[in-house]
Amino acid sequence: MPGIYPKIIINFKAYNEGFGHSAHNIAKASEFVSEQSGVLIGVAPSYMEIHPISKHYEIPVYAQHVDAIEPGAHTGHILADAVRHAGAIGTLINHSERRLTLADVSGAVDAAKKANLQTVVCTNNIPTSAAAAAFSPDFIAIEPPELIGSGISVATADPAIIEDSVKAVKNINSNVRVLAGAGISTGDCVKRALELGADGVLLASGVVKAKDPEEVLFNLVSKI
Ligand SMILES: O=C(CO)COP(=O)(O)O
């Protein structure tokens, strides 16, 4: 599946609803809505769910983080090759809840690329987006931390950060796709983010904590 780029990625984080039966429900709904709408939806579950989800569902699966390490004597680290072997096609790097130094972002991007994983580097502002673009990841995901989990959409609360990140990133490397994230939960948010120049969205609570994830997913793709 490398070379296939989702328009929507759902980050399961470490939510209670992000593992076990409910993780499968979200993955199954993502697969169904992708098939029905033609809009590709990827998921970033916990490490333990990467293998079962990638085995059972025809959707792109991402890790939430990999470490900047080569195979070898590293206890308690996340190896990009192991993530790939488990069935992930890519990984988030530098999420707001898993921040790295710039050197470690660079190292993690290199490690992921060597393991043939797509890279989604998360950033919190425009200068960081520009810096991360220089590493030529597949995606940059701009997510203002203060809006993450707030239910307030970045697309309406801070449209300039999307527009300006897209400009900054494409200025440095026009091949890097930009995702917008934080507070995205409806088709209108997705539509607005795409109008502002984003190639897609990264979201979590709007789907993961929803009573009916499938209904939310159908709504998310409804205006694309
Ligand atoms: O951090 C996020 C996705 O990685 C955004 O989280 P919310 O969609 O819950 O705001």
Ligand 1 atom closest to 204 (CA): 8
Question: Structural domains in the chain?
Answer: 8-221 (3.20.20.70)
Q: Among residues 17, 31, 49, 143, which one is catalytic?
A: 143
Q: At what angle do helices 126-133 and 159-172 cross, to 10 degrees?
A: 20
Q: Is 24 among the residues known to form the active site?
A: no
Euclidean distance between CA atoms 153 and 214, whole angstroms: 20
3-state secondary structure of 146: helix
- Residue of 31, 95, 97, 214 with catalytic role: 95
Identity of residue 5? Y
d(CA 80, CA 20) in angstroms, rounded, equals 23
Binding-site positions read 11-13, 148, 183, 204-205
- Determine the Cα–Cα distance for residues 3 and 150; give it in Å rounded to an integer: 32
Summarize the annotated binding site for substrate as residue ranges.
11-13, 148, 183, 204-205
Please state the pTM of the whole predicted model: 0.97
Residue-level pLDDT at 2: 45
- Is the alpha carbon torsion for 36, 216, 221, 13 positive or negative? negative
- How does DSSP assign 54-81, residue by residue? HHH-SS-BEES---S--SSS-TT---HH
Residue type present at position 175:
N
Q: Which residues line ligand 1 (CB under 6 A)?
A: 11, 95, 143, 148-149, 181-184, 202-206
| Distant-in-sequence, close-in-space partners of 101: CB < 8 Å, separation ≥ 6 | none
Q: In what order do the strands lie in the sheet with 139-142?
A: 41-44, 8-11, 200-203, 177-181, 139-142, 118-123, 90-93, 62-63
CA 2 / ligand 1 centre spacing (Å)? 24
pLDDT for position 3? 62
User: Over its length of 224 residues, how does the chain's per-residue pLDDT go in tens digits?
Assistant: 446 899 999 999 999 999 999 999 999 999 999 999 999 999 999 999 999 999 999 999 999 999 999 999 999 999 999 999 999 999 999 999 999 999 999 999 999 999 999 999 999 999 999 999 999 999 999 999 999 999 999 999 999 999 999 999 999 999 999 999 999 999 999 999 999 999 999 999 999 999 999 999 999 999 99
Query: How many Å apart are CA 211 and CA 25, to the nearest integer?
Result: 11
- Cβ atoms of 43 and 63 closer than 8 Å: no
Q: What's the 12 CA to ligand 1 centre distance in angstroms?
A: 9
- 143 flagged as catalytic: yes
Q: Is 219 in contact with 35 (CB distance < 8 Å)?
A: no
CB 88 within 8 A of CB 119: no
